[in-house]
Amino acid sequence: MSSRLHGKKALITGSTSNIGRATALAFAAEGAHVIVSGRDRSRGAAVVTHIRRAGGQADFIPADLDGSIRASHALAAAATERLGGHIDILVNNAGIFPSSTTLTTDEHAFDRVYAVNVKAAFFLTQAIAPDMIGRGNGVVINLGSWAARLSLPVGALYASTKGAIETLTRAWSSEFGSQGIRVNAISPGVIVTPAEDTDTDPVGVLMHGTPAGRTGHPDAIAAAAVYLASDDAAFVHGTVIDVDGGRTGVAVIKDVA
């Protein structure tokens, strides 16, 4: 085990699978005590068991972040208590992706996606920031998306929520930076787990012609999160780090047909 986050206490939402799970494992391997959070108790328990068997510290707190102040503040309170009184690092990772188009999205779906992807992160940050301000130290890491800046014919609703999160990243950095809180975001590219077959999965084609030429692994996002959470990023404020294989920063000129 390394020690870049030794003694730090972290809450990672949506950390029972995929990017959140990889981030929880990476934080714990770097010495942090991690609160794994999500709706699936069995998957959450499995992540905690994995971390503990490797010698790390982790606990699971179930949470259904529905966008209400009640749900976000309850998770903040439970995590703070379990971690012994304070949270050093908050990772706002929980989110949902509806594949609907603008013409097929109803009001219920619209409200739910904004509730989970934006409101939950907003009110969780609202609940945790005061203690960070009081201690003059803290880190907030948000998860954006390449889809917020490089548009597709589906997923307009999702893209707009991630645009909101990236804007909140800059706004919170301005609001909280002088009080000791660093706020940054990661914008993942097309990320899949090894179990997924990208040769047949249509998302794989989205990376054709990029510098990486392939989809990414959740560990790549976790590595960026460790950097932003550590003192190595002490001078990094209000930025969105693209970890996308060059998808948004480089013109795709290869024929993907």
User: Active-site residues: which are they?
Assistant: 158
135 phi/psi in degrees, rounded to 5: -90, -10
Instruction: Give the three-class secondary structure for 187.
Output: strand
Q: Which two tokens stand for residue 201?
A: 């999965």
The alpha-carbon radius of gyration of the chain (Å, integer) is 18
Distance in angstroms (rounded) separating the CA atoms of residues 10 and 93: 12
Bridge-based pairing state of the strands 9-12 and 181-188: unpaired
The tokens 């609907």 sit on which residue? 100
Q: How far apart are the first and last CA of the chain?
A: 44
- In total, the chain counts a number of residues equal to 257
Q: 69-82 vs 120-135: helix axis angle to the nearest 10?
A: 40
CB 87 within 8 A of CB 37: no
Q: 218-229 vs 18-29: helix axis angle to the nearest 10?
A: 50
Distance of alpha carbon 89 from its chain centroid, rounded? Answer: 12
